[in-house]
């Protein structure tokens, strides 16, 4: 079994014809379980959760159009799961829960892209990394991941060590291992799945999320996995999956999670 639940179709219209391009690529890549997980911040319905100068010009879509595309695609025989990638913002748990409960999601990916008003993975805000202590940023980032897991609002934690995207990584391995161990323990205790994401191979860091040591810590704690591409175009669906599978098996994983209606079921890893 192979999954690709982290797919964005937002570069095109919310139409079945556009979605079909992603379906074709998923089929060609041998992916039986795939779904779309649009960025929640793009929808006007999430304005109460997050709103700033960067989001404002991008928050123009409506959930009814997104859901309608999924339902029409299913009517036409396209087996696509309905997901969302929701940014986690401390203190907004109630608003997030209310939003998520309005829609029939198959799964919810929880991600940390923001520390206060700073988008840590945005190229236009990259210079902020040079103004801050790298260890402090990583500690704050994993603090957010911990709170994300403890909230139990999310099924999957996305790109678990996204903070490495621009290669600003602490050199103190003891510090990193400490962060890895504490966050994986919380993920396990709260039943939060993680994704092995090949998207990092297409970013400046040039490596899969998460780092092998972090993935090993997850495996030891019994944190389940899915495999994802974080595709933003049809050609990236299933990108570099042989590398992700090799890493998963080498780490010790033998099962993958399949989601429907916010419930997970384990299958043998493809």
**CA dist., res. 197 & res. 207, Å (int):** 9
Q: What is the CATH number of the domain that holds 253?
A: 3.20.20.140
162 neighbors 111 (Cβ within 8 angstroms): yes
Task: Give the chain's domain count.
Answer: 1
How far, in Å, are 3, 164, 225, 264 from residue 255 at the CA level?
Answer: 11, 26, 8, 12
Output the CA angle 23-161-156, nearest 5 degrees. 50
| pLDDT tens digits in sequence order for the chain, 270 residues long | 899 999 999 999 999 999 999 999 999 999 999 999 999 999 999 999 999 999 999 999 999 999 999 999 999 999 999 999 999 999 999 999 999 999 999 999 999 999 999 999 999 999 999 999 999 999 999 999 999 999 999 999 999 999 999 999 999 999 999 999 999 999 999 999 999 999 999 999 999 999 999 999 999 999 999 999 999 999 999 999 999 999 999 999 999 999 999 999 999 997
- Torsions phi, psi for 188 (to 5 deg): -65, -45
How far, in Å, are 42, 80, 152 from residue 72 at the CA level?
Answer: 21, 11, 30
Enumerate the β-bridge partners of residue 107. 83
SS3 6: coil
52 neighbors 22 (Cβ within 8 angstroms): no
Q: Assign residue 25 a region (left: φ > 0; alpha: ψ between -120 and 50; beta: otherwise).
A: alpha
Which structural domain, as residue segments, surrounds residue 203? 3-268
């Amino acid at each position: 079994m192979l999954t690709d639940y982290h797919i964005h179709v937002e570069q095109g219209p919310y139409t079945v014809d556009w979605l079909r391009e992603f379906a074709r690529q998923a089929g060609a890549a041998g992916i039986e379980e795939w779904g779309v997980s649009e960025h929640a911040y793009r929808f006007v319905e999430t304005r109460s959760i997050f709103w700033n100068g960067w989001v404002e010009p991008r928050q123009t879509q409506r959930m009814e159009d997104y859901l309608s595309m999924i339902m029409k695609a299913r009517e036409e025989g396209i087996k696509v799961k309905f997901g969302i990638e929701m940014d986690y913002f401390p203190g907004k748990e109630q608003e997030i829960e209310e939003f998520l409960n309005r829609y029939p999601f198959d799964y919810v990916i929880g991600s940390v892209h923001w520390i206060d008003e700073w988008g840590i993975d945005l190229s236009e805000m990259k210079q902020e990394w040079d103004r801050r202590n790298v260890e402090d940023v990583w500690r704050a980032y994993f603090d957010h991941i911990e709170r994300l897991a403890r909230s139990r609002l999310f099924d999957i934690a996305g790109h678990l060590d996204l903070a490495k995207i621009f290669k600003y990584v602490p050199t103190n391995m003891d510090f990193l291992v400490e962060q890895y161990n504490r966050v994986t323990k919380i993920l396990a205790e709260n039943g939060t799945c993680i994704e092995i994401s090949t998207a990092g191979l297409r970013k400046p860091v040039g490596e899969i999320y998460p780092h092998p040591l972090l993935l090993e810590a997850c495996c030891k704690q019994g944190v389940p996995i899915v495999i994802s591409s974080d595709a933003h175009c049809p050609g990236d669906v299933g990108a570099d999956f042989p590398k992700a599978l090799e890493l998963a098996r080498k780490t010790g994983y033998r099962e993958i999670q399949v989601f429907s209606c916010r419930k997970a079921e384990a299958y043998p890893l493809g």
